[in-house]
Structure 1
Amino acid sequence: MLKTRLIASVILSALVFASPEATAKSNETPHALDGQNSELEGTIDRELEMFRNAQVSLQQAMLIAERLHTGSRVVDISFDGGANPPVYRVKNIHKEQIWEHSIDARTGSSIAGDKRALSVKGLEPLDRRNLLALKSVRQNLSDAVVVAERSARGKAISGGLMDEDGTLYFVIVVDTAEGLKQVLLEPPRDR
């Protein structure tokens, strides 16, 4: 899905999450789709154009989803330009339930009949561990989105959690003037 990834490794200063312990990693490989299916590239370009024209930002869609379940936290969000209308697919956790919603990217309304709940107990072990680890960090995905957008100088198109060698990261994909960039942010843990 990514056209590009950031190459340089970056450690963000105390301004990142207002903590010297927060770190970010980014990777970029220019022209990741060169020589691949031009139809796939055309689809990606169309989805990016729809995203760029969306009236609702990813950050706004996260707030809307969190308001649907007071006290919830967004754990995954992505833009889906293939849907009619284009939507943000959002997963947020509230108590022991994962709620999935589709938020209209034009109006910000929740798509009626397009929500469901999953039990955390029914998830794969790695997903359960990631959600448990999320409870031990101070930041939310929305905090990571703000940092990623500032550091990559663009607009976030998706975000979620990733475990890499036992370390929890927020993974944010940002649409920039140079293409799509993936930013990994390691949040500091509560003590």
Structure 2
Amino acid sequence: MRTPKYWRQLLAIALWAVLLPAPVYAIAASTDAPASLRSEADDSAALDQRAVDRELALFRGSAISLRQAMAIAEAQHAGSTTADVSFDGAAASPVYRVKTLHNDRVWQHAIDATTGKIVGGAAASPLDEFDADDRSNLATLKAIQHRLADAVRVAEHAASGKAISGGLIRERGRLNFAIVVMSGNDLKEVILEPPGAASRR
């Protein structure tokens, strides 16, 4: 599943590739590493960038938005809310992987990014299978009024783009929504603290 951490890594790779295309060779040339190792490092960076470019191209071409995928998954269980969602272009057909919370279970859905149809069946895990931090985050998510869908809408407006992933992160004791948005050719991360989350730490 493509987590916010995965998209943060892609964001870092994309920014590294944009900001440091020329100096990479200068840095490698100034080391004592054999030419074969420098070549392998350059090939690895090129492969990483190609993977990023392919994933983003598939996302740009998807007919279904991340918000639509969330709505489709949430409609499977009345009253459910999305805890994590991400675009996955590595699958045979691009999908959104959506985790929803309903009745003390976390449901995992794959939504086809072209048709909006659910791919395969839904898998459910009881909350007691998660570690204490995850259970705490999910309990806070259940208790607050705002939803990940609200955060995605705000992030897309703020970053002028389309969200590619979203989920929960806890930093310095605060539970936040982390949304990665594609704006033009750039990936931007938007961090939003849900109202009421700080009081439930």
2:75 corresponds to which residue?
Answer: 67
Q: Equivalents in 1 of 2:14, 2:79: separation in Å?
A: 40
Of structures 1 and 2, the larger Rg is shown by: 2
2:127 corresponds to which residue?
Answer: 120
Larger RCO (CA within 8 A; separation ≥ 6): 1
1:104 corresponds to which residue?
Answer: 112
Q: Equivalents in 2 of 1:80, 1:103: separation in Å?
A: 10
Alignment pair present for 1:136 and 2:146: no
1:95 to 81, 98, 103: 103
1:169 corresponds to which residue?
Answer: 176
Residues 42-81 of structure 1: pairs in structure 2 closer than 5 A: 42-81=50-89
With normalisation by structure 2, the TM-score equals 0.78
1:158 to 161, 165, 183: 165
Of 30-39 and 79-88, the range deviating more from structure 2: 30-39
Unpaired runs of 5+ in structure 1? 6-28
Letter in 2 for 1:182: E
Alignment pair present for 1:84 and 2:92: yes
Q: Equivalents in 2 of 1:75, 1:4: separation in Å?
A: 21
Q: Equivalents in 1 of 2:16, 2:191: separation in Å?
A: 18
Letter in 2 for 1:175: M
With normalisation by structure 1, the TM-score equals 0.82
Q: Offset of 1:32 from its aligned partner?
A: 2.6
Unpaired runs of 5+ in structure 2? 1-6, 25-43
Specify which structure has the higher proportion of helix.
2
Q: Offset of 1:106 from its aligned partner?
A: 0.4
Q: Call closer, same or farther: CA 1:55–1:185 in 2, change over 3 Å.
A: same
Q: Offset of 1:178 from its aligned partner?
A: 4.7
Aligned residues: 167
Q: Offset of 1:30 from its aligned partner?
A: 8.1
Q: Offset of 1:135 from its aligned partner?
A: 2.3
Query: Contact conserved, 2:77 with 2:102, CA < 8 A, in 1?
Result: yes
Q: Equivalents in 1 of 2:165, 2:11: separation in Å?
A: 14
Query: Contact conserved, 2:14 with 2:52, CA < 8 A, in 1?
Result: no
Specify which structure has the higher proportion of strand.
1
Q: Equivalents in 2 of 1:61, 1:51: separation in Å?
A: 13
